[in-house]
Amino acid sequence: MLALRRYDQIVSLGRGCQPAHQIRRLHAEAQAHVFDWIVTPDAGLVQSIATDLNGFFARDRLVMGPEDCIVDRVTDARFLHEFPTGEDFDAQYQKHVGRYEMLAERWRNLLASRQSVLFVRQHAWDADLRATAIRLRDTIALKAPHLSFSLLYLSAAHEEDWREEGIMNSFLRQPEPYVWTGDDAVWERLLEQALARSEQ
């Protein structure tokens, strides 16, 4: 189990389920958060944060996307687990809307707090890794002026340390053949390193 050191929480920012799965595996007391189990494109994540999750999971914004997946037409956030094929859409929506309202409020309370947080983001698809990470960091900083946070930014690219304030960028090796949960040993090492850097 991880020792959080100076942080109060470790919070997943997606892009999919892998970061949340690994955070919970290594930190049993981790809270659920709004971006844990959905697919979040880079720009859509920033837009969601910048708008305080306004309209998030609103019924009139959810449409059928590619591969029979329900998406938010504004942010392109993709809900892979909430709407099984063949199930009644409105029944499934009612089943999950209360939980997402609770998670959205938890997110807003977190950003309004004075906690110390390690955010973990697995890069999605935008071409410029560094610019994408900086935009995410700056958006969080703007929306959460009292929050003390660092951003662990993980990608499939081997890049030198960007030496960007508040950002720790690292290569995230995936298992071969690919498994959605990721490589347990790799995740343990990366999270331990990030937590240790917080004390330097």
| Domain of residue 138, CATH code | 3.40.50
User: What is the average per-residue pLDDT within 171-180?
Assistant: 97
Residue 120 is predicted with a pLDDT of 98
Instruction: Give the structural domain span for 43.
Output: 9-55+114-197
Is the predicted pLDDT of residue 1 greater than 80, yes or no?
Answer: no
Residue 157 has pLDDT above 80, yes or no: yes
Asked if the structure places residue 20 within a domain, the reply is yes
Percent of the chain surpassing pLDDT 70: 98
The answer to the question of residue 169 being in a domain is yes
DSSP-derived letter for residue 35 is T
Residue 45 has which token pair? 């994540």
- Check if the beta carbon of residue 168 is closer than 8 Å to that of residue 152: yes
Structure-model confidence comparison of residues 169 and 200, the more confident one: 169
Note whether residue 46 is domain-resident: yes
Residue 48 in any domain: the answer is yes
| 146 in Cβ contact with 112 (< 8 Å) | yes
Looking at the structure of the chain, the number of domains it has is: 1
State pLDDT tens for residues 79-125: 999 999 889 999 999 999 999 999 999 999 999 999 999 999 999 99
What pLDDT does residue 200 have? 57
Residue 65 forms part of a structural domain: no
- On whether residue 102 sits in a domain, the answer given is no
Residues 6+ apart with CB under 8 A from 18: 122, 180, 181, 182
188 has a pLDDT exceeding 80 = yes
Which structure tokens are listed for 8? Answer: 């109060």
139 is a domain residue: yes
- Domain-located, residue 186: yes
